[in-house]
A and B are shown apart, each in its own frame.
Chain A
């Protein structure tokens, strides 16, 4: 019972300007730079740190997606994970893959791998769902420590300091548990060149959702994707009276 499962998602790189497809069915992903979701990086860093503190024996990185998802797993391996699992989902299935299906997959894997801890990024920067961690915990009937900015293992319990709107909340939950990483949990390490070389030798197992008995049919249908409205130029006014008049005119007051 000394294994950590970390979920990593391959997303469009944060610095890329996202474009909507002409048919409004989604965003352009072909030929666009992708990388590991930043919150997933933080999750990997935390898992590897816990292993370095000898609190866990093995860190397993998991990603769901097409062949390119192995690149993301390879990066996780280069950061220190021991092995990877690539759950292959392609084509239309991948386009409709969402938190519910992914959490079913993670729940199945957590049981299969006998993980004591599942660490995920709190949300992905492409869909901003912030659901997978919570759903995974619910499916497993495990406690959850979400928006973690501090994680400490105390025996068979986990102390999690959560970042919430009102400030910080500290909770203690029993393991096995699910934790989702927030921004200030840690600063992810760079994959050093020697570690990239070592990562080549680490194993990535390949499987399909069906192998885990998971049905990935989506219950959601994306109707349309649009860009946010273009920001209009502002208007300068001379006096406060002008301002009030303009606001009344636009129906704002």
Chain B
């Protein structure tokens, strides 16, 4: 009765056929943890569960996304990277699975789940493809959150249901002359009666190729410095909005990163998100949360890379033994595993702190900073462990290596994170 097992075998075959699938990813024997159900709900009498404790809902979501990513996204990853193009099939299925509106209220077609669920989803997606993870991260932690927190009833009705079902959003803050120094942005919004005219250009805008709505940060009153920065909702088809050619990037190639030109773009007053001149506050606020999302992305990337490299070290035999069995290798592998675990705990804790409504900014910075550094270390080591094949495009490892670099740069460079942390630490010692 070989025929019925074909589907099961073909699933396995997809995992073992060809060099891309030599390393079976995912199923490390988790014998140290007592199984999925033990990770749910606290044991009686235990009031401080470990950080890796998930509600049943979070556990199910993670399993569902893991499976979906393995089956529907993994086969397309190499092609999307090569062509620098995100398959529309992938974007559609992200919407179908409810991954683009994780925290949005079901009333607007969203999933109605929690921030931590978003973090788990982003992590699982990143294990397979960091580009897909960033698309999901920006949508959930930046765009959806901004609309949910600041939108008027009318704005929410108009945009949230589209954001959860078929429309991608982009967040436009950076410009050619203002990256870390975000508040020195030059894009201007001049007020006329009941509308604004926006002029300027933006750079490094993720998702720009496919976005249907752009949240543009422009200064409505440059004389007040950054206190004039306002958040405008600009639809894609607005006259004067031009999306430039996407960048040819080292990594995260399937995620489109484009410059934007705003040439006398007319935006009605009702398209202001939140209040005039408060844009700078919103940007900082959202980026604090987005930071945890990026940490989750880098975490997933590191884990995914690690999970693909270690099986190779267990198979590869040199000098009569598995290369895993050489002490130097074991020490390196254990060291990297420790770093990933620490990164995970920082990320999960920052997410839980935010959910609990407690101060979390310093911890979010730590999570993003540490995880992106860990991703760099992990991917670099994984290539070394794989030797020559790690250096070829036939194996997925080199893509993780290229993808990780942006982690220390975007959504707040490592230096910015460290300076922010230092400010908090300084305050802690004030009496």
Contacts and interface: CB of A to CB of B under 8 A. Distances in A.
Contacts of A193: 61, 64-65, 97-99, 102, 111, 113, 117, 121
A133 interface: no
Given A125-B8, A197-B113, A31 B33 contact: yes
Interface stretch (B34-42, B237-245, B420-428): B34-42
Q: Chain A CB within 10 Å — which of B32, B34, B60, B97 has the most?
A: B60
A67 interface: yes
B104 to A, nearest CB: 10
B293 to A, nearest CB: 16
A197 B112 contact: yes
Q: Chain B CB within 10 Å — which of A15, A74, A194 has the most?
A: A194
B28 to A, nearest CB: 10
Given A14-B11, A67-B37, A78-B60, A194 B111 contact: yes
Contacts of B56: 71, 74, 200
A190 B37 contact: no
A34 interface: yes
A34 B36 CA distance: 8
Interface string B116-142: 010001000000000000000000000
Contacts of B65: 193
Contacts of A82: none
A190 B112 CA distance: 18
B135 to A, nearest CB: 16
B27 A194 contact: no
Contacts of A30: 34-35
Given A31-B31, A193-B97, A15 B12 contact: yes
A75 B36 CA distance: 14
Contact of A163 (B3, B60, B96): B3
A61 to B, nearest CB: 14
A192 B97 contact: yes
Contacts of A192: 64, 96-98
A33 interface: yes
A139 interface: no
A193 B276 CA distance: 36
A125 to B, nearest CB: 7
B59 to A, nearest CB: 8
Interface string A26-48: 00001111110010000000000
B113 A71 contact: no
Interface in A59-76: 67-68, 71, 74-75
A235 interface: no
A88 interface: no
A122 interface: yes
Given A14-B8, A74-B56, A190-B97, A33 B64 contact: no
User: What 8 A-B pairs come out closest when comparing CB atoms?
Assistant: A193-B98, A194-B98, A193-B111, A183-B4, A31-B31, A192-B98, A194-B111, A68-B37
Given A125-B8, A190-B67, A193-B99, 12 more contacts: A14-B8, A14-B12, A17-B29, A31-B30, A183-B6, A192-B98, A193-B102, A197-B57, A197-B106, A197-B111, A197-B113, A199-B60
Interface of B: 3-8, 11-12, 15, 24, 26-27, 29-37, 56-57, 60-61, 63-65, 67-68, 96-99, 102, 106, 110-113, 117, 121
